[in-house]
Amino acid sequence: MVLLIKDEYPEKLFREDGKRLDGRGNLELRPIKIEIGVLKNADGSAYIEWGNNKIFAAVFGPREVHPHHLAKPDKGILRVFYRMATYSVWERKRPAPGRREKEISMIISDCLEPILFLELYPGTAFEIYIEVIDADGGTRCASTTAASLALADAGVPMRSLVTSLAVGKIDGELVVDLSGIEDKAGDADLPIAITWYNDEISLLQFDGVMDLEEMDKILSFAKDAASKIYDMQKAALKKKYLTIQEDVLKQQSGGDK
């Protein structure tokens, strides 16, 4: 599925056949592909392709805090650096991190902090570097989802994974997983994140207009869609460990000969 509309917004966000512009139904997710442990120098990493988004997340830590004055004597700290590459959007994005990237880094950090046991790591930092190399709507959500997997890959003790996606309203209809054009030209956009250990929403942003009844419905659609993504996250982690197990078994059987 490739649909990248540049600077002009279409009049309608649904086609004649009732499908969304990229051919999806209202409650259908974009295709998602996840790989774990893709970067050799990071303690943990994940790569996610989510529709046209392509994102790497790399985790380091627990490690010494630089600059030292940021260290806390009673707990570890979590630092998130979300960056969009200059070539990740159709318009050249300034290379220096802007206000949007700083805000998104903070949001992702707030979503992930509750799942960590930072009190066990005084004086140290966990750092998560997120590079968006292709962007098409919902990058903060895809980044949060990938970052929680990179933490798991790093072997960091966690209460659970986190899943995030954007839901909202376009041309008066409720939809899940907004694409870039739906995010910009739609009526409402709600990025949300769910922490699975307590089944709670740890992020809810809201941009647009929606009544309370719609809000109730969209949150329940969001939960259903998030649980499908959660299954994909678990499957991606299992795949990595099955590959390791196969490699170990192969080595062992080679060693026995």
CB of 91 to ligand ADP, least distance (A): 5
Nearest to 49 by CA among 62, 38, 65, 63: 38
CA distance 232 to 226: 10
Q: Is the peptide bond before 62 cis (omega within 30 degrees of 0)?
A: yes
- Answer for which of 43, 153, 183, 187 binds ligand ADP (CB under 6 A) is 183
User: Which residue from 61, 168, 180, 186 is in contact with ligand ADP, where contact means CB under 6 A?
Assistant: 180
- C-beta of 21 vs 71, nearer to ligand ADP: 21
Q: Which of residues 19, 100, 239, 250 is near ligand ADP by CB under 6 A?
A: 100
Rule CB under 6 A: is residue 8 a binding residue for ligand ADP?
Answer: no
Name the phi and psi angles at 95, rounded to 5. Answer: -65, -35
CB neighbour list of residue 42: distance below 8 Å, 6 or more residues apart: 58, 59, 60, 129, 150, 154
Our finding on whether 137 is near ligand ADP (CB under 6 A) is yes
Token code pair at residue 200: 């709670």
Which of 27, 71, 85, 89 binds ligand ADP (CB under 6 A)? It is 89
Q: Which of 105, 109, 139, 233 binds ligand ADP (CB under 6 A)?
A: 139
> Whole-angstrom Cα distance, residue 56 to residue 107?
17
Question: Is 135 a residue that touches ligand ADP (CB under 6 A)?
Answer: yes
Coil vs helix vs strand at 14: strand
Provide the 8-state DSSP code for 163: E
Which of 83, 93, 169, 240 contacts ligand ADP by CB under 6 A? 93
Q: Which residues bind ligand ADP (CB under 6 A)?
A: 89, 91, 93, 100, 135-140, 180, 183
